[in-house]
C-alpha cells in the first residue's frame, strides 16, 4: 500500500487482534457500523471466544487477516512485536498490502522496531495509542491517536464507529503520548495502592481513609474506581510499566520508579489470582470487601 493512499474500506472488512476487552469493544462498535471484523482465535480460551462471539468477530487465518485493508493490533504490550513477527510471512505474501496499526502501550523505541518488521513486508505502518476505557454499548469511545506517514489513512476508520485522531508527528509520537498519559494514570494507581497497603500493614489504614475523606475527597473518589478496576488488569500493566521505564531512559532515576511499579503490579496480579491478602486489604480500605 502506498503510504499516501487511504485504505479501501469499501468491502467493510477490517481485522482487530485480539478480542480482549478493548479489542472486542472496538470490534462491536465497528460491527454496529456495518463492518465485518476478523481476528485470530486459534488456541484461545473460552472467555476470549465468548468475547469474540459477543462482539461479532470472525475467526480467520493469518492470510485472511493480511487480506484486510486495515489491521489493528490490540494486544498486551509484551505480545506486540511477537504478533507483528507472526504475521510477517502472510503480510509479505499478500498481493495487496494492508495498513498495519500498532495500538499497544509500548515505548517509541519498541513501536519503531515493530514498524521496521511490518514495513519490511511491504505493508504500511502507523503508530497508535488508545486512551480511554473499552467502549460499552452506550458508553463513550476511547480515542485512538495515530502518528506516522501512513496515519492519515487511518482516519477512514471514523466511518467504522471508531474515534481516530491523527497527530502531526512521526512513528513514535502516538506511543509517546500513550506512555506519558499511562505513566500518570496507572502510576498514580500504583503509588496510592502501595501506600494504602503500607498503612494497612502498620495499622493506620482506617486513619488514612478518614483523613483522605476529610482532605482529599476528589482523589479518594478517583481511587475508589481506579484501584478495583486495576485488579484484573495488573498482569497486563507489568510490561507497560517496563515500557515506560525504558521510555524514560535507564540513566534517569525516575525510570526506576516504573521498574518498581512493574514488580509491584506483578505481585498484585499474583495476589489477585490467589485471592490473597493484599487485594483483600485494598478492598477493605475502599469499602468493597
Neighbouring residues of 191: CB distance < 8 A, sequence distance ≥ 6: none
For all residues of the chain together, what is the average pLDDT?
Answer: 96
CA distance to 118, 146, 225, per residue, from 283 (Å): 43, 37, 11
pLDDT tens by residue, 171-182: 999 999 999 999
How confident is residue 284, by pLDDT bands cut at 50, 70 and 90?
very high
In this predicted structure, the answer to whether residue 137 has a pLDDT above a threshold of 90 is no
How confident is residue 91, by pLDDT bands cut at 50, 70 and 90?
very high
pLDDT over 90 percentage in the chain: 96
Segments of 76-174 assigned E as strands: 99-102, 124-131, 143-147, 163-166
Phi (first) and psi of residue 150, to 5 degrees? -85, -5
**Could you tell me how far CA 207 lies from the centroid of its own chain?**
36
In this predicted structure, the answer to whether residue 55 has a pLDDT above a threshold of 60 is yes
pLDDT of residue 289: 75
How confident is residue 4, by pLDDT bands cut at 50, 70 and 90?
low
pLDDT tens by residue, 181-219: 999 999 999 999 999 999 999 999 999 999 999 999 999
**Are 74 and 22 in contact, with CB atoms under 8 Å apart?**
yes
pLDDT of residue 24: 97
How confident is residue 2, by pLDDT bands cut at 50, 70 and 90?
very low
In this predicted structure, the answer to whether residue 66 has a pLDDT above a threshold of 50 is yes
Range 119-127 average pLDDT: 97
pLDDT of residue 5: 66
* CA-based torsion, 256, 258, 262, 268: positive or negative: positive
CA distance to 41, 89, 116, 266, per residue, from 242 (Å): 27, 29, 21, 11
In this predicted structure, the answer to whether residue 14 has a pLDDT above a threshold of 90 is yes
In this predicted structure, the answer to whether residue 127 has a pLDDT above a threshold of 70 is yes
Higher per-residue confidence, 138 vs 191: 191
* Closest of 123, 152, 251 to residue 114, by C-alpha: 123
In this predicted structure, the answer to whether residue 82 has a pLDDT above a threshold of 50 is yes
CA–CA gap between residue 84 and residue 165 (Å, rounded): 23
CA–CA gap between residue 263 and residue 95 (Å, rounded): 44
CA–CA gap between residue 34 and residue 112 (Å, rounded): 32
* CA-based torsion, 160, 162, 166, 172: positive or negative: negative
In this predicted structure, the answer to whether residue 3 has a pLDDT above a threshold of 90 is no
Cis check for the bond before 18: say yes or no (omega within 30 of 0). yes
Amino acid at each position: 500500500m502506498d503510504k499516501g493512499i487511504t485504505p479501501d474500506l469499501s468491502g467493510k472488512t477490517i481485522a482487530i487482534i485480539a478480542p480482549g476487552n478493548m479489542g472486542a469493544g472496538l470490534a462491536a462498535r465497528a460491527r454496529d457500523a456495518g463492518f465485518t471484523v476478523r481476528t485470530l482465535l486459534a488456541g484461545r480460551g473460552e472467555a476470549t471466544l465468548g468475547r469474540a462471539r459477543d462482539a461479532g468477530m470472525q475467526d480467520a487465518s493469518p492470510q485472511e487477516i493480511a487480506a484486510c485493508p486495515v489491521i489493528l493490533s490490540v494486544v498486551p504490550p509484551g505480545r506486540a512485536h511477537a504478533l507483528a513477527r507472526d504475521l510477517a510471512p502472510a503480510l509479505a505474501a499478500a498481493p495487496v498490502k494492508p495498513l498495519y496499526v500498532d495500538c499497544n502501550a509500548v515505548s517509541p523505541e519498541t513501536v519503531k522496531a515493530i514498524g521496521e518488521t511490518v514495513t519490511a513486508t511491504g505493508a504500511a505502518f502507523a503508530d497508535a495509542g488508545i486512551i480511554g476505557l473499552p467502549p460499552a454499548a452506550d458508553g463513550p469511545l476511547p480515542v485512538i491517536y495515530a502518528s506516522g506517514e501512513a496515519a492519515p489513512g487511518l482516519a477512514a476508520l471514523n466511518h467504522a464507529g471508531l474515534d481516530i485522531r491523527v497527530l502531526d508527528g512521526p512513528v513514535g509520537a502516538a506511543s509517546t503520548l500513550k506512555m506519558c498519559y499511562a505513566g500518570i494514570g496507572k502510576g498514580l494507581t500504583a503509588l496510592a495502592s502501595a501506600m494504602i497497603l503500607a498503612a494497612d500493614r502498620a495499622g493506620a489504614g482506617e486513619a488514612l481513609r478518614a483523613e483522605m475523606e476529610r482532605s482529599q475527597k476528589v482523589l479518594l473518589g478517583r481511587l475508589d474506581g481506579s484501584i478495583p478496576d486495576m485488579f484484573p488488569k495488573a498482569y497486563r500493566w507489568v510490561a507497560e510499566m517496563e515500557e515506560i521505564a525504558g521510555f524514560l531512559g535507564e540513566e534517569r532515576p525516575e525510570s526506576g520508579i516504573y521498574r518498581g511499579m512493574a514488580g509491584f503490579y506483578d505481585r498484585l496480579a499474583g495476589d489477585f489470582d490467589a485471592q490473597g491478602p493484599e487485594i483483600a486489604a485494598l478492598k477493605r480500605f475502599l469499602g468493597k470487601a
